[in-house]
Amino acid sequence: MREVGRESSPGPLGFPEPGPPRFESAADVRRRLEEIGYLADDGIAGVVHLADRLAKPVLVEGPAGTGKTELAKSVARITSSRLIRLQCYEGLDESKALYEWNYRKQLLRIQAQQVVGDGAGGGPGPGQPGPPAWRALEEDIFSEPFLLTRPLLEAIRSAEPVVLLVDEVDRVELETEALLLEVLSEYQVSIPELGTVRAERIPMVFLTSNSTRELSEALKRRCLYLHLDYPTLERERAIVLRRVPGAGQELADQVARIVRSLRTLELKKYPSVSETLDWARTLVVLGVESVDAEVAKSTLHVLLKYRSDLERAAKELSVAEADGSAGRGGSVPG
C-alpha cells in the first residue's frame, strides 16, 4: 500500500510530537485572545496553552451560549489558521466525517473504460476486461482524484495550519464517537485502499459538547477537559463592555448584576452570555442609560425564553407582573 503524506516523526512512546509552540505561555494566549475581543479567564487560557504543548484535543463542555464555539473560532484567528468545522448530528457517519469514494465518478470511469474497450475491438470482450486491465482500473478508481475528503481528513491533510472544530459532539451516537478516536489521538486517518494519512502539522482540535449525554471514557481520556460555565460578575461586565459598542460602564455593571441575580433563581433555562449581550445591545438601541424596573420588565424576554421563567423572574425581581410579555416583542428591534 502506498504511503500518502509525508511521515511526521512520532515522538517517544508513539506520542505525536507537538510542533513549534504556537504560544509562549498561558498569559500570551490570554493577551492575544483579548486583542481580538475574546475575554478568556485563567482556566481557558491555561487549557489552550496546554493543548498546544501536549498536542491534545480540548473537549469543551458547558451550558449553551457560553462561548464554546467562539473559543475555537478565536483561537483560529489568533493563530491565523483555517477553521475546519465538523458539525455533528445524529446519523453522522464515516462518509460524512472522514472521507468517501466518489462512486458516481467511479461508475462513470468504469463505463468510460467499457466504451473505450468496445471501440478498440481487441481484448477479451466487452464487459470482461482481463486481469491486468482490471488491476489497472482498480488502482485508478481508488486513487486521489476519486476521493472526497470530509472535514476530519481535510484537517489532517491540510498543509496550512488549521484549527479543527468538532461541534456538538454529544449529538452523535456512542458508536460513532469511535470514528474520532484515531484522528484525535494519532492525528492520522487510515484508508484501506490508500494507506495511512498522517498529519504534517498537528492541528489544534476543539470538541464542544452541550452535555446532553455522557461522552465515552475513551474519548474523554484522549482530551483535555475544559468546563465553560457562566462567567463571574467581573468577567461578564468586561465582556459586555468589550462586545457591545455604546454600552457605558454603568449599564454594563447593571446588566451583569441583574443577569447574575437571574442565575441564582431556579429557572428552566438560564440566560447565557450571548443572551446577556443581546440584552445589552437591546438596551443600547433603546437608548437606555440605566436599567430600572420598568425597562427590565419590558425587555426581559430577550434574556429568558420560557413563559414560566419570565413570570418567576418578574416576580422575584419584584418587577410588576410582566403580562403579555410576548406581545411586547414588537417594541424591541433585532
Partner 1 sequence: MLDVLTGFVGELRAAGLPVSMTEAVDAAEAVHHVPLEDRQALKYALASTLVKSSAHWKAFETAFEVYFSVRTPQSASGQGQSAEGDGEEQGEEGQQGTEEGAGSGGGGGGDTLSAEELAEMLFRALLSANDAQLSALARRAVSRYAGMEPGRPVGGTYYLYRTLRNLDLDGMLRRLMARARQDAGGELTPLEERLARDEFQSRLDRLRRELEDEIRRRLVADRGAEALARSLRKPLPEDIDFMHATRQELADLRRAIHPLTRKLAVRLARKRRHGRRGPLDFRSTVRHSLSTGGVPVDPKFRYPRPAKPDIFVVADISGSVASFARFTLHLVYAISSQFSKVRAFVFIDGIDEVTRFFEGVEDVTEALHRINTEADVVWVDGHSDYGHAFTVFWERWGEEITPRTSVLLLGDARNNYHASQSWVVQEMRHRARHVYWLNPEPHAYWGTGDSILGEYAVHCDAVFECRNLRQLEHFVSELA
C-beta of residue 275 within 8 angstroms of C-beta of residue 315 = no
Residue 104 Cβ vs partner 1, minimum distance, rounded to whole Å: 8
Per CB under 8 A, 321 contacts partner 1: no
| E strand or H helix that includes residue 42 | helix 42-54
Tell me which of 103, 246, 289, 321 binds partner 1, using CB under 8 A: 103
Q: Is 55 helix (H, G, I), strand (E, B) or coil?
A: coil
Q: Is 286 helix (H, G, I), strand (E, B) or coil?
A: coil
Which is it for strands 204-209 and 147-149: parallel, antiparallel or unpaired? Answer: unpaired
CB burial of 148-168 (b: ≥16 within 10 Å; e: otherwise) equals: ebbbbbbbbbbeebbbbbbbb
Stretch of 119-127, 150-158, 225-233, 235-243 lying at the interface with partner 1 (CB under 8 A): 225-233
Nearer to partner 1, 189 or 291 (CB): 291
Residue 254 Cβ vs partner 1, minimum distance, rounded to whole Å: 8
Nearer to partner 1, 53 or 135 (CB): 53
Query: Which residues on neighbouring strands pair with residue 204, listed in sequence order?
Result: 163
Which is it for strands 224-227 and 58-61: parallel, antiparallel or unpaired? Answer: parallel
Site string for partner 1, 281-310 (x = CB under 8 A): ----------xxx--x---------xxx--
Cell (9 digits) for 47: 487549557
Q: Measuring CA to CA, which residue among 138, 201, 281, 218 is closest to residue 6?
A: 201
Q: Is 278 helix (H, G, I), strand (E, B) or coil?
A: helix
Binding positions for partner 1, 46-75, rule CB under 8 A:
46-47, 49-50, 53-54, 56, 58-59, 61-62
Nearer to partner 1, 56 or 96 (CB): 56
**How many residues lie near partner 1 (CB under 8 A)?**
53
Report the interface residues with partner 1, using CB under 8 A.
25-26, 42-43, 46-47, 49-50, 53-54, 56, 58-59, 61-62, 90, 103-104, 107, 173, 211-214, 217, 220-221, 223-227, 229, 233, 254, 257-258, 260-261, 264, 266, 268, 291-293, 296, 306-308, 316-319
